Amino acid sequence: MLQENFTLLIELLGTVAFAMSGSFAAMQKRLDPFGVLIIAFITSVGGGTVRDLLLDVPVFWMHNMLMCSVIFVTSIFSMVFKSLEKKFKVTLFIFDSFGLGLFTIVGIQKGLSADLHPLICLTLGTITGCFGGIIRDILLNRIPLIFRKEIYATACIIGGSAFLLLVKYSSLKYVIVQVFTILLIVAIRTLAVKYHWQMPKFYDAEQNGEM
């Protein structure tokens, strides 16, 4: 029971985090309140929707008005909080990082519940964590973070791999493993930005004066 309740808490916190992330991203682009609500909703449910479609199960938010209510309330709170919050970029980063960590673990757990191969579970976790942000950035006419040089999906893969290994080979309590791996993903994202860790980039040889 404790494990199920904590898993639900993770999903709710992830929804709040990504709703805040989507709201602040939309307000950065000066969208109206309806636009802010739409972007918040898409950011929160985008990854989970793709995941559930791949799993061929009912899409989670269509049968759970609690999630929809949480997104709506969070969006309203974000718009009210906006008058007090001036550092949109920092706030967006914080909520996006926590949403990434929380939803990655949720996605992996969904895969494990369906008795899928660990690599597929890891893929589902990455999709759940990243795809809401991808759709958000496309709608806001930005290059999605996952396609840029920043460490983003890599954080999901490292944290998700640690989760799977700890669940299978360690004697730690499941809740402790969940918390640890969520914080690991957040830490990787934070350190990557702070110390400018980047993925290798491909260059056009002709643009660099090479033949």
Q: Please compute the mean of the pLDDT values over residues 47-64 and round it to a whole number.
A: 94
- In percent, the amount of the chain with pLDDT more than 90 equals 70
Query: Quick check: 71 and 44 in contact, CB under 8 A?
Result: yes
Nearest to 122 by CA among 196, 188, 185, 191: 185
Quote the pTM value: 0.89
Number of helices and strands (H, E) in the chain?
Answer: 7, 0
Band of the pLDDT at 83, cuts 50, 70, 90?
low
Q: Please compute the mean of the pLDDT values over residues 175-181 and round it to a whole number.
A: 95
Q: Please compute the mean of the pLDDT values over residues 74-97 and round it to a whole number.
A: 80
Band of the pLDDT at 116, cuts 50, 70, 90?
very high
> Residue 41: its pLDDT value, please?
97
